Structures are given as structure tokens and as C-alpha cells.
Amino acid sequence: MVMKKVLVSTLFIIVIVISYLIYDEFSFSPLRGDDFQKLFKGYNESFDKFCSKDFLGLSFHGELFDIYQYRTKGALIDKSFPMITEWEHKEITNETLVGKWKNCPLDSQTTVLYKLALTSNNLDELKCCNSFNKVILNPNNYYCYVYFNDLEQYFLLYCTGSQELYYIRKRGF
């Protein structure tokens, strides 16, 4: 009888831990409210992460190479933004390239910097990102980036019509 209680208790704890890990994975968002304030001038509205894809699937929270998609409300592009001194807990230095918001399509420098991140996976086949390659060509949309080096780079694409933000993170490999 005691053995049965221990077994049931252990199983209960395992189920709780697994449930928490699953919840934590699906609710994780690398961007927080203060990040949106750094990206968009005067942004105080809500945002909602509605899609994410971890391309490598080797870690919790997609720490190596992933894409997130957010719905925003009332985000306005200011070409002097983003205004950042650090990104993803890493200080911006003189070697860091920070691209301010620019109209799509990508310029040649950005295309070279982000060629691997933007073309290594067929985004058209992913449910939540299947319009990415179309919206990146629309001159009404905007992009910016934070480029630390070949191993750590971040790319953001904002769609003005749908008020959606794509966020691609490449951190390693």
C-alpha cells in the first residue's frame, strides 16, 4: 500500500513537471513589452505571440534558430528606431550593426548579412510563416536588425497592413 502511494505520488509529480515544461515552452516569448517600446516609438499597446517555430528543436525556448510572429496594435514606424543599448541581454557595442527601420525589400547589405537566416528554411512551407517571403517584398512593410556576428543575429519584419511582426533569432551553430 505504501509502495502504491509512493508510485502514484511520483507519477503525479512527473505529470506536473511535464505539464509545466510544455506550458512554459508554448508561452515563452523572447520579446517583452519594453522590447516593443525600443522598437516602436511610444508603444504602449498590447501584443500577442501567436506563432513560433524552432528550426532545430534542440533546446527549450528555441535558443539557437527560430522565428516568432506577433500581432500588435497601434505600432508606428519611426525610422530613428529601434533605440537600443542592449538586445537579448547583450550590450550593443561599436562592432554591433543595428539597422534602423527601412522599407522593404531588403537592401544589398542586409541581404548579405541575413542570407542564411532568411533562406536556410523554406518559410513558405511553415503554417505561420507562409506569407513571409511575400511580405518582405512589399514596400509598405519595414525591417530592422541587430547583428552581433555570424553566430548571433536578429531580424525583424513589420507588416503595416496586418500589424504583424516577424522576429527571427539566430544564436549559434
70-104 pLDDT per residue, tens: 999 989 999 999 999 999 889 999 999 999 999 99
Rounded CA Rg of the chain: 19
pLDDT of residue 99: 94
pLDDT of residue 32: 83
Give the closest residue to 43 by CA, choosing from 102, 83, 12: 83
Q: Distance from CA of residue 39 to its chain's centroid?
A: 13
pLDDT of residue 121: 63
Max CA separation in the chain (angstroms): 71
The rounded distance, in Å, linking the Cα atoms of 143 and 46 is 20
The rounded distance, in Å, linking the Cα atoms of 107 and 3 is 67
Query: Quick one: cell of 170?
Result: 539566430
Query: Quick one: cell of 27?
Result: 508561452
Q: Decide the pairing of beta strands 152-159 and 65-72.
A: unpaired
Spell out, as residue ranges, where the chain has pLDDT lower than 50. Answer: none
pTM of the prediction? 0.83
pLDDT of residue 63: 63
Per residue in 125-137, pLDDT tens? 767 777 888 899 9
